[in-house]
Amino acid sequence: MDSFHENTFLLTIALLHDDRTVRRKIRYYRLLWLKHDLPAGLSVFLVALPLCLGIALASGAPLYSGLLSGIIGGIVVSLISGSQLAVSGPAAGLSTVVAGYILSFGDYRLFLPAIVVAGLMQVILGVFRFGAIANYFPSSVIKGMLAAIGIILISKQIPLAIGYDQPDFWTSGFVNLFGEKNFYGSIKNFNLHITRGAIVISIISLLVLILHQQPFARKFKIVPAPLLVVLIGIVTNLLFTRATSGFSLHTTQLVAIPKDVFSQITFPDFTGLFHNPEIWKAGAVMGVLATLESLLCIEAIDKLDAHNRITPVNRELIAQGIGNMACGMLGAIPVTAVVVRGAANVDAGARTKLSSFTHGAFLLLAVMLIPSLLSMIPYASLAAILMITGFNLTKPKLYRNMWSLGWKQFVPFMLTIIVILSTDLLIGVSIGLLISTYYIIQNNFRVEYKISKSVKHETEVYLIKLNSNVTFLNKVNLKKALDKIPEYSVLTIDGSDCHFIDYDILEIISEFENKAHDRHIEVHLNGIERVNVTAVH
């Protein structure tokens, strides 16, 4: 065989081998999608659908904008993102900010360019690799954020789970049970505003979800638990309605999907982009908030990944930025990575980002093809799904584990939870970060030098051994340690193993050496540079 034919033969073999490898990978991912990501995507879709609608309403935006954000987050962001389990969509954490800006602009079309600016800012941050900031958030703070979101999630679903029809469950309803003198009258009044059908559906749904997590239920996990819960909820309400009982749900207690939801899409008005600075200011604020929330959520979801995969954060920022630019161009509200959707994705057994893409495709198909069927889903069924998801984020086992790790982990963890519940997500995480930083600084005070004492020829000999890095944070404790060195003693300060000694530390040591002879202290410096301290005075 000549050289030409030999090379052709080898190339053919290589191509056939590569083709078999590609086919094998396609077959593997197809099976993975069918077994894990398809049911997970369906589960997340059932969770995301009411959240998209609710966040749009809370933001004061058109109803379609929330659904469109969920579709863009699922289809566009997931294709670009490197995260295998995170799911993006409209975030409740930005709803108050969005609502305020929509009111201030007075026209939704004028607000949309600010979302484009926010997305462009995120892309720039990702290109210049600012995503690494996520690596500096302590584990205790991330776990505290997850636990707080779990508590908020459960508390927000309770009114839906019992079918309470008043605007504020926690103040006008539940709290007044214990605040009024006429307790029996308060109970009776509260009883008038709940729906027994919703309570029955919630209890059945919770039981199904809890039983579905038990080991003996593995053989029944062919059908995703959230889908089973939704079907049971629809059938149960239909039975209540057919029986014309007082248990049947009101239309306000069912998911409301309008027909032709995308017929009212509003596109951005860019006329004020270059002469209205408020657009750029709003874009910058939303860009920063969306970036921080996405990075925190990515960090949190990575901790839930059983396969310990790490998301490339700079790529994630670029993906989120492109997603938000698409949202602004198509009339949707901003998207971020969302812990609730991501946690539901993990709980449903997702393996790859195909589950997030699948959830986005389901949102698109459902809204276009079966809006009337979706409008039959009880909010009580969806509330039960979210309550179980919230419980998985804030299990009692988590609190016991954090307590066992000691105060330096438990205090930032609990403070993060308390502040998030009292204020909002970003303030809570910021406070938790500050407390964790305090413990780091406090620990740094103790570990960057070590004092030892011995006696030679009836003379006290002291050794201060400086460790790797001694900074100005050690000034106070080092001064106190030097002041405690008694007269007529010998002191050796050893910095030979130091990589870095702050000038402030060198100044303190040099000042002490200059004045030590007045106290009859013999000072020896090893590996420490003397500095001129007379110029300071």
Strands 469-470 and 449-456, bridge-based pairing: unpaired
Q: Which fold has domain 448-536?
A: Transcription Regulator spoIIAA (3.30.750)
| Contact criterion met (CB below 8 Å) for 335 and 89 | yes
The pTM of the full predicted model, rounded to 2 decimals, is 0.71
Q: Tokens 């003198």, residue?
A: 181
DSSP structural state of residue 51 = H
Per-residue pLDDT tens over the stretch 264-304: 788 999 988 888 899 999 999 899 889 988 988 898 898 88
Burial of 430 from C-beta contacts in 10 A (0-12 / 13-18 / 19+): middle
Q: What is the mean pLDDT of residues 239-253?
A: 83
**So what's the pLDDT on residue 537?**
46
Dihedral class, residue 5 (left if φ above 0, else alpha if ψ from -120 to 50, else beta): alpha
| Token pair in block for residue 390 | 């919230």
What is d(CA 85, CA 350) in angstroms, rounded to the nearest whole number? 7
Per-residue pLDDT tens over the stretch 197-206: 999 999 999 9
The residue among 52, 36, 153 whose CA lies nearest residue 85 is: 36
Percent of the chain scored above 70 by pLDDT?
88
Per-residue pLDDT tens over the stretch 32-77: 888 889 999 998 998 888 888 878 877 888 878 999 999 999 999 9
Q: What is the dihedral of CA 278, 281, 286, 287, to 10 degrees?
A: 140
DSSP structural state of residue 59 = T
The residue among 274, 331, 251 whose CA lies nearest residue 90 is: 331
| Token pair in block for residue 524 | 């020896």
Q: Rg for the chain (alpha carbons), in Å?
A: 31
469 or 359: whose pLDDT is higher? 359
Q: What is the mean pLDDT of residues 517-523?
A: 88
Helices vs strands, H then E, count in the chain: 22, 8
Write down the domain spans for the chain.
Answer: 19-163+195-393, 395-446, 448-536
- Listed in sequence order, the DSSP H helices in 81-138 are 95-105, 108-127
| Token pair in block for residue 60 | 């004061």
